[in-house]
Amino acid sequence: MAKRKSHPRIPVSSAGIQVNHCKNPYCGNYGIPAAQARGTKKNSQGREGYTVIGGSGRMRVLKCHACNRHTTLRSNAAIEQELARFLPNQNRHNTASCPNQDCTSFGIAVWSSPRCYYKHGKTHAGEPRYRCRTCGSTFSVGAPIRKQRLPHLNHQVLKLLVNKVPMRRICEVLDIRPATLYNKIAYLAEVSTAFVEEHELKLQHSEPPKARIYISIDRQDYSLNWGTHLDRRNIQLGAIGAVDNDSGYVLAMQLNFDSSLNAEDVEADAIKRGDYDLPPPYRHYARLWLRREYDASDCTLLHSDDTEVVEHVDPAIKGPHSGMQVHLEYTQYALFLHLKKLLQGVQKLRFFMDRDPGLDGACLAAFVEEVQQRRADAFLVQSIKTLTMQKKKLLIAHKQREFDKFCVDHPMLKKAEAKHEWVQEQLESYLAEKTDSQTWFNYPFPDMAEPGKTLLHLTDYGDYPLDHLARLYMRASLRGIDRFFMQVRRRLSILERPIATANNANRRWHGYAAYSPLVVEQVLRIFRAYYNYCLVGEDGETPAMRLKLINHLVPLEVLAGSSFADVKN
């Protein structure tokens, strides 16, 4: 075992990423990282702005001296690694190099040194191939997809998959083996990912720049069946999604699972590096769930007021049997950094987040400059999800009577104007009675989707006029991400909610649920592309058409691997 290594006071920056700072936007330390060495960056009282709390083998937190908030330390290198998973095709292109380890061009990427390579045709999937000028080795920059047999079935597999036909029924209908089906799902996932990445480049360089975008963000958990009767614990994974509320376009959807890793190799290397002897944010494999971390004793929480700690260990849950589970908080940070790059062509950003631990901290860490420049605002949104249909209707009827009375008192106002005026009136009372930055606003217009909705404006500097603030509050909603998550449950049989039974010790087994996390990852990629480019709404347009990324409906055959020209012909 490696000797215990010393480490800096806080994790070092990586590729310009440094999230170890106060995330309270009203604090003077907001966005200012803690010092990596003691005795530097002292404030006017002669001391550094933070204290690091925590011992070896435990989570470490920063205590801000200015506002007394706590924030958990995170590995910036791990966030950078997780960020690369949001653009798998693009990052494969950026890192492709000569595969010969004895060659001087090994590790020198094509994009950075194109003179080191010749172009050498394309693969069957249409990916470019190259030949090394030095050693003559050939390689491709895309995913290693084999030539598709029975390509005419790809379209049918895709159509059945996104219409909740179970895996075994797909095999039965198309008369194919399970191995063939899984190969086709892998192929469809690669084609869909490449298609989406190509079109989303327009968001980064939109001309003219998009004025503003309203984004709803939430997570959804998935339970996978056990693969052996010797260990009947479920595998539970989480996915973070972000949706543009206006168009319904799913900007990102990422599972906290990395299929490219081998758990045995990572575990052996982690032990060799001495990762278990280091606090979690200083580990080489900080973003991954190592084997011993599934023991609750390794995840002791230091402060109950730290909203960034998002995971706890459930003894009824086990790790994936292939690939590795990623700590969800690193997926959250990577999501917001991905959105920052993807939406760099948007002038103003409005984030509406569910009250899941860690989402607000990750958002405020990624968009420090935008928040300070008043180009970004963040809201937490929560509603009462346990109400029956009858109670929802009673709540809505009660608020409607109050609004009707307001309209009677203001007969000159049209309905839309009256709504805006009533929200302003409610906001004015709320702001006058507000005691601190954690006081929630009771939104006066509940609906069946979000009854009893309350809002918390995380970036309220008091500089917005009341009418502008009222319009922001009226926009705050999770409807975009909720609708997408609902479609995931309704259209993908392997992700339907499982049923827990008392005689099974609360373990969940579902006849149609997935056994492989890799299949879940691939199916989610396929469905995001289908939802954005193929699923037509009542207005006759897809989310991608509403967002102006494309001006036509994309046929299923395109996501199945055919070019648009081939489909037209």
pLDDT value for 541: 96
Instruction: Kindly report, residue by residue over 254-264, the tens digit of the pLDDT.
Output: 999 998 888 89
Band the pLDDT of 209: cuts 50, 70, 90.
Answer: confident
Band the pLDDT of 115: cuts 50, 70, 90.
Answer: confident
**Cα→Cα distances 67→24, 71, 72, 310, 431, Å:** 8, 11, 15, 22, 21
For 94, list phi and psi in degrees, rounded to 5: -70, -25
Q: What average pLDDT does the segment 335-360 reach?
A: 94
Find where tokens 């699923």 sit: 535
Band the pLDDT of 498: cuts 50, 70, 90.
Answer: low
Q: What average pLDDT does the segment 291-311 reach?
A: 57
Higher local confidence (pLDDT), 295 or 461: 461
Instruction: Kindly report, residue by residue over 31-49, the tens digit of the pLDDT.
Output: 999 988 765 555 554 457 8
Sign of the four-CA dihedral 270, 276, 282, 285: positive
Most confident range (mean pLDDT) of 86-95, 147-156, 180-189 is 180-189
Q: Check whether 568 has a pLDDT greater than 60.
A: no
pLDDT value for 92: 62
pLDDT value for 569: 40
How far is the C-alpha of 329 from the C-alpha of 439, rounded, in Å? 25
How far is the C-alpha of 344 from the C-alpha of 335, rounded, in Å? 14
Are the beta carbons of 50 and 66 closer than 8 angstroms? no
Q: What average pLDDT does the segment 533-555 reach?
A: 94
Find where tokens 């994974």 sit: 237
Higher local confidence (pLDDT), 298 or 321: 321
Q: Check whether 300 has a pLDDT greater than 60.
A: no
Q: Check whether 247 has a pLDDT greater than 80.
A: yes
Higher local confidence (pLDDT), 439 or 112: 439
How far is the C-alpha of 155 from the C-alpha of 554, rounded, in Å? 13
pLDDT value for 140: 77
Domain boundaries, the chain: 1-85+270-307, 97-141, 384-477
Q: What average pLDDT does the segment 271-282 reach?
A: 90
Are the beta carbons of 239 and 252 closer than 8 angstroms? no
Arithmetic mean of pLDDT over the chain = 85
Hey, what are 470's tokens? 């009222």
How far is the C-alpha of 561 from the C-alpha of 126, rounded, in Å? 10
Hey, what are 42's tokens? 């002292």
Around Cβ 454, how many Cβ atoms within 10 Å? 15
Band the pLDDT of 301: cuts 50, 70, 90.
Answer: very low
Q: Give bridge partners of residue 64 from the DSSP assignment.
A: 50
Which one-letter amino acid corresponds to residue 457? H
Hey, what are 415's tokens? 């309905």
Which one-letter amino acid corresponds to residue 262? N
pLDDT value for 103: 84
Q: What average pLDDT does the segment 519-548 reach?
A: 95
pLDDT value for 111: 64
Cα angle 287, 291, 292 (rounded to 5 degrees) comes to 100
Which residue, among 256, 329, 380, 277, has the nearest Cα to 19 in the 3D structure?
Answer: 329
Instruction: Kindly report, residue by residue over 41-86, the tens digit of the pLDDT.
Output: 555 544 578 998 875 457 788 999 999 999 999 999 999 999 999 9
Query: In which element (H, E) is residue 417 found?
Result: helix 415-433
| % of the chain beyond a pLDDT of 70 | 84
Q: What is the DSSP string of 388-423?
A: -HHHHHHHHHHHHHHHHHHHHH-TTS-HHHHHHHHH
**Burial environment of residue 43 by CB neighbours within 10 A (0 to 12, 13 to 18, 19 or more):** middle
Find where tokens 């070019």 sit: 563
